[in-house]
Structure 1
């Protein structure tokens, strides 16, 4: 009887320690950014953020915590206290994927728009605060809009991607240049074929009775392909996350 109890206790302790070890070894990947990455409500489907598709690329020891939100900029994400709870939870070895620009460039909207100088300051603060918790910041330029004119893809982001690249270079932050990667994908597909990547919906859809032609936000297929480009960037940078990919 005593031997049986001993075996049961030993197995219980072993299982508890194993569970604790697995829990301890989990890596959290936070995403902060705007609607192009954000989780979406069912009433906006098929609009899909690329952050929603990222978890499927990882093994179970990575948790993607997507905090990106529609309409947010580096400024409004801070002012609305969206960053504070993330910073409080960060632990050594976590990652923060930082992708802003789409709304920072809307300078006509003071609540979200930032000057290039302010955009730079905000990015630097995100990076430094992430590093203060011994977590790992990753900068991403904003994804391309589907803005073809006469068959030629036009960049609509101005100098905001340039600032992201400058911050990455000056602070030695790993950079995934999503603008270049998504421009490459759109150019490869062309004006017509690239429609499938975006939230284009025929009339009669339950969420869009009058239809929708949205060249900023992604479709489920677009989100998966863009998340795949993020993963490609992870591999190119040789991040430790590579060994945690499926």
Structure 2
């Protein structure tokens, strides 16, 4: 698992903190890389590396969309329409993993912090969340709707409080961003921690309807889910 990329700190992918929600000894390998779409992830050979390390009985989380949406970038764009490349890429990865005895789980993308009012976030992902949900249903693979869950959570927090979950901060706070940052797409530690909590809570809810995923759910550390403490960037990185 990759933890500290000090060149982009405090930006934090949510899976970077996921081991805090699982029992000690649970191995989590994070193959995600910033800026990749389902198309470029496959084209660059990154998915091949996933398959090379995958073992029967493993679980694989598959989450794309943010960069697939870039219609002006032919190396990354993948259409979410029925029969489009985005759905084909998801299906390809899931089927290849299943051939190796790996159990895939689809995830819709985390919402962007695009408020249209104090407690209402607009859908900035278009057709992509539904494309993930429909592909999962077609393949009979479980899907956790992090788009809906994160939207509900950030709306509940409100426009101002949710600001700290993303890369929004003034100048002079973080060395890597001397001029500050205003970014409602990429998460900070607090946001990553919150998304982890949404994910594992949802995972526990699907374990009964997807019995073959019960082993994964049973590794969840319940204590982490119900912690209401606020997260400090400096305390999560070392």
**TM-score normalised by structure 2 residue count:** 0.85
Q: Which has the larger radius of gyration?
A: 1
* DSSP 3-state at the match of 1:191: coil
- More displaced 10-residue stretch of structure 1: 137-146 or 200-209: 200-209
The equivalent position to 2:138 in structure 1, one of 170, 178, 203, is 170
Structure-1 separation of matches of 2:153 and 2:117? 18
Distance in 2, Cα, partners of 1:58 & 1:71: 27
- Partner of residue 128 from structure 2, selected from 160, 168, 173: 160
Shift of 1:210: 0.8
| Equivalent residues of 1:201, 1:208 under 8 A apart | no
| 1:120, distance to aligned residue in structure 2 (A) | 0.5
- Which residue is 2:156 aligned to? 188
Deviations along 1:210-233, one digit per CA (max 9) or x if unpaired, are 110110111111111101111112
| Structure 2 residue matching 1:149: 3-state secondary structure | strand
Q: Is the 8 A contact 1:39 1:66 kept in 2?
A: no
Q: Which residue of 1 aligns with 2:216?
A: 241
Query: 2:23 aligned with 1:59, yes or no?
Result: yes
Tell me the C-alpha RMSD between the 2 structures. Answer: 1.4
Matches within 5 A, 1:105-144: 105-116=69-80, 117-144=84-111
The residue aligned with 2:58 is 94
Distance in 2 separating the partners of 1:186 and 1:56:
21
- Structure 1 contact 200–213 (Cα < 8 Å) conserved: yes
CA shift at 1:39, angstroms? 5.3
Q: Is the 8 A contact 1:199 1:212 kept in 2?
A: yes
Structure with greater contact order relative to length (CA < 8 Å, sep ≥ 6): 2
- Secondary structure (helix, strand or coil) at the match of 2:158 reads helix
Instruction: Answer yes or no: is the 8 Å Cα contact 2:10–2:188 preserved in 1.
Output: yes
Query: Shift of the alpha carbon at 1:80?
Result: 0.2
Unaligned 5+ residue runs, structure 1?
1-29, 31-37
Q: By how many angstroms is 1:61 displaced?
A: 3.4
Deviation (angstroms), 1:209: 1.0
Which of 220, 230, 236 is the matching residue for 2:189? Answer: 220
- Please, which moves more after superposition, 164-173 or 201-210? 201-210
Q: Give 1:24's aligned residue.
A: none
> Do 1:95 and 1:138's aligned partners in 2 also have CA atoms closer than 8 Å?
yes
Q: Which has the higher strand share?
A: 1
Measure how far apart 1:45 and its partner are: 1.4
Stretches of structure 2 that go unaligned for 5 or more consecutive residues are 208-212, 222-238
Rounded to whole Å, the distance in 1 between the matches of 2:39 and 2:75 is 8
Structure 1 residue 242: deviation in Å? 1.7
CA distance in 2 between counterparts of 1:72 and 1:40 reads 19
Instruction: Tell me which stretches of 4 or more aligned residues in structure 1 moved more than 6 Å.
Output: none
